[in-house]
Amino acid sequence: MSKIVCVLYDDPVDGYPTSYIRDSIPRLERYPDGQTMPSPGAIDFKPGQLLGSVSGELGLRKFLVGQGHKFVVTSDKDGPASIFERELIDADVVISQPFWPAYLTKERIAKAKNLKLAITAGIGSDHVDLQAAMDKGITVAEVTYCNSISVSEHIVMMILALVRNYIPSYQWVVKGGWNIADCVARSYDLEGMQVGTVGAGRIGLAALKRLKAFDVKLHYTERHRLSREIEKDLGLTYHDSVESMLRICDVVTINTPLHPETEHLFNEAMIAKMKRGAYLINTARGKICDENAVARSLRSGHLAGYAGDVWFPQPPDKDHPWRSMPNHGMTPHISGTSLSAQARYAAGVREILECWFAKKPIRSEYLIVENGNLAGTGAHSYSAGNVTSGSEKVARYKKAAGA
Ligand code: NAD
């Protein structure tokens, strides 16, 4: 029997919901590229429920405990005195969500002598030291595609919010004003702008498809160039470097995983190559951008706006520069954890666990690391190495919150 430690975000401040604003969520048959939806033998939750918080338990308790496993769920993830670090010592499997990441650093992996499988309930396994996982023979798997479309919708929302100056205009209404000139002095149409994505995998491509409807000029840069058919269909201009794309684009969206090639890719020098008045949208990972360079570029007016939902580490300090910089549209990390997405990744985690316990192969698209190497989606989209350095700073948030 195994011990599974699962780290989830806290329940809502008013308690775990007893009802929801909608009665159901749409049932999807397949992902856009034909990949099948998560297909566990069964699920013990109703799609549309809050599953990603502690009381939701990803809907896994009945299944795991019913098979005799020990299942520990906690939100207390940071610092050496945390429940996570204590329970990790003899855990066989760790489950964590990128929204509230349980950083699996080399030091923590060294303490977790039984650890064999790290599952990301979502997409993006950069919170695991993938190099250490490879060195220790730990399998790392995530639920590829589960929230890619969720994020692409969020990207379109954030681009429009920044370009059309939605958030300050909304705030004028809340403040009781009718200050039209204040609202529109920073408001433009997206139509006709040059819009580019760094990375055109599942999220980047879905964002491009959605943006086509706005009659913009679309650009992308990618490790793996898309087919000429897709390029023609969407009217895409391919760039062989990020720099070449930045020179032209009014709006840039980042859609690569965080790995050694992309860590701090958007530093001072790279941002300086962007057009004055450009907008940068980052729903990929906070550490792809240099936090101070972003804040400075907004203060100087070089960037007109920055929006996203990803920070480093998470949760960020109360005085993180992105909370107070001008012209931003930041939220906590939420784009990939809508109730719709949760139903998919909870089912995907269960599918991975069912395969694991039955000693059946995990589908290759879910694999990031296996048998000491990057595998599946990991081999396609990541490069080897570790990007968790600095994650220990996260304990400062807990201290400041008095927890
Ligand atoms: P994906 O694997 O389908 O696509 C990633 C693409 O990035 C791949 O096509 C890969 O070739 C490309 N890439 C990697 N390194 C590159 C580089 N240096 N230059 C150019 N292209 C590069 O994954 P996806 O579903 O599109 O997700 C992408 C990332 O988005 C995830 O790894 C995760 O970090 C992030 N994400 C965030 C949320 C959220 O809630 N904010 C949710 C899901 C995913």
377 is in an annotated binding site: no
Domain ranges of the chain: 3-146+337-375+383-393, 148-330
Q: What is the pLDDT of residue 221?
A: 98
Which numbered atom of ligand 1 lies nearest the CA of 310?
A: 41
- The predicted pLDDT at position 2 comes to 98
Omega cis (within 30) before 101? no
The number of angstroms, rounded, from the C-alpha of 385 to the middle of its chain's C-alpha atoms is 19
What is the percentage of the chain residues whose pLDDT exceeds 90? Answer: 98
Q: Is the pLDDT of residue 403 over 60?
A: no
Write out pLDDT tens, residues 159-194: 999 999 999 999 999 999 999 999 999 999 999 999
CATH topology of domain 3-146+337-375+383-393: Rossmann fold (3.40.50)
Q: What is the model's pLDDT at position 230?
A: 98
H helices present in 70-201, as ranges: 83-88, 106-111, 130-136, 148-163, 166-174, 180-184
Supply angle C-alpha 337, 160, 307, rounded to 5: 55
| Residue from 125, 203, 270 whose mutation best tests the ligand 1 pocket (most atoms within 8 A of CB) | 203
pLDDT at 342: 98
125 labeled part of a ligand binding site: no
If you average pLDDT over residues 352-378, what whole number do you get?
Answer: 98
Q: Would the annotation count 196 as a binding residue?
A: no
Q: Is the CB of 202 under 6 A from ligand 1?
A: yes
Taking a C-beta distance cutoff of 8 angstroms, is the pair 243, 250 a contact? Answer: no
Query: How many of the other CB atoms lie within 10 Å of CB of 44?
Result: 15
pLDDT score of 402: 62
pLDDT at site 400: 72
**What's the token pair of residue 312?**
């480093």
Identical fold, 3-146+337-375+383-393 and 148-330:
yes
Shortest-distance atom of ligand 1 to CA 145: 25
Query: What pLDDT score does 299 carry?
Result: 98
pLDDT of residue 287: 98
Fold designation for 148-330: Rossmann fold (3.40.50)
Cα(199) to centroid(ligand 1), Å: 6
pLDDT in tens, 227-280: 999 999 999 999 999 999 999 999 999 999 999 999 999 999 999 999 999 999
Decide if pLDDT at 153 tops 90.
yes
Q: What is the arithmetic mean of pLDDT over 287-300? A: 98
Pocket of ligand 1 contains residue 285 by CB under 6 Å: yes
In contact, 207 and 160? CB cutoff 8 Å: no
Buried b (16+ CB within 10 A) or exposed e, 363-392: bebbbbbbeeebbbbbbbbbeeebbbeebe
The verdict on whether residue 59 carries a ligand-binding annotation is: no
Mean pLDDT of 315-323: 96
pLDDT at 176: 98
Which helix or strand (DSSP H or E) is residue 230 part of?
helix 228-234
pLDDT number for residue 198: 99
pLDDT digits (tens, 9 = 90+) for 5-45: 999 999 999 999 999 999 999 999 999 999 999 999 999 99
Distance 196 CA to ligand 1 centre (A): 14
Read off the pLDDT band of 217 (50, 70, 90): very high
Give distance in angstroms: CA of 64 to centre of ligand 1: 31
Using DSSP bridges, classify how beta strands 367-370 and 373-374 pair: parallel, antiparallel or unpaired: antiparallel
Tokens of 97: 């969500």
| Dihedral angle of Cα 313, 315, 321, 323, to the nearest 10 degrees | 150
> Sheet harboring 217-221: ordered strands across?
236-239, 217-221, 194-198, 251-254, 278-282, 303-308, 328-330
- pLDDT class for 326, splitting at 50, 70, 90? very high
Of 100, 123, 158, the one to substitute when testing ligand 1's pocket (max ligand atoms within 8 A of C-beta) is: 123
Chain Cα centroid distance, residue 326: 23
Q: Which of 336, 283, 333 lies closest to 306 in space, CA to CA? A: 283
Question: Beta-carbon neighbour count of residue 301 at 10 Å?
Answer: 11
Q: Report how far ligand 1's centroid is from the alpha carbon of 226 (Å).
A: 14
DSSP state of 394: G
Tell the residue nearest (CA) to atom 37 of ligand 1: 284
| Tokens representing residue 273 in the block | 């190559």
Mind listing the pLDDT tens digit for each residue in 99-141?
999 999 999 999 999 999 999 999 999 999 999 999 999 999 9
- Indicate if ligand 1 lies below 6 Å from the C-beta of 224: yes
**Of 190, 325, 201, the residue nearest 271 (C-alpha):** 325
Q: What confidence score (pLDDT) does residue 396 get?
A: 79
Q: Which residue's CA is the closest to the ligand 1 atom numbered 40?
A: 336
DSSP three-state, residue 386 = coil
277 close to 251: Cβ distance less than 8 angstroms: no
DSSP-derived 3-state class of residue 318: coil
Q: Is 137 annotated as a binding residue?
A: no
Q: Whose CA is nearest to atom 30 of ligand 1?
A: 284
Q: How far is 69 from 123, CA to CA, in rounded Å?
A: 25
373 has binding-site annotation:
no
pLDDT band at 398 (very low <50, low <70, confident <90, very high): confident
Ligand 1 pocket check for 335: Cβ under 6 Å: yes
Residue 140: its H or E element: strand 139-142
Compute, in angstroms, the gap from residue 214 CA to the centroid of ligand 1.
Answer: 23
What is the three-class DSSP state of 145? coil
* Measured distance CA(11)–CA(34) in Å, rounded: 34
Where does the pLDDT of residue 395 fall: very low under 50, low under 70, confident under 90, or very high at 90 and above? confident
- List, in order, residues 6 or more apart from 358 with CB less than 8 Å away: none
Does ligand 1 lie within 6 Å of residue 378's CB atom?
Answer: no
Q: Across all residues in the chain, what is the average pLDDT?
A: 97
Residues noted as catalytic: 147, 285, 314, 333
Question: CB neighbours (10 Å) of residue 300?
Answer: 9
Q: How far is the CA of 141 from the centre of ligand 1 (A)?
A: 15
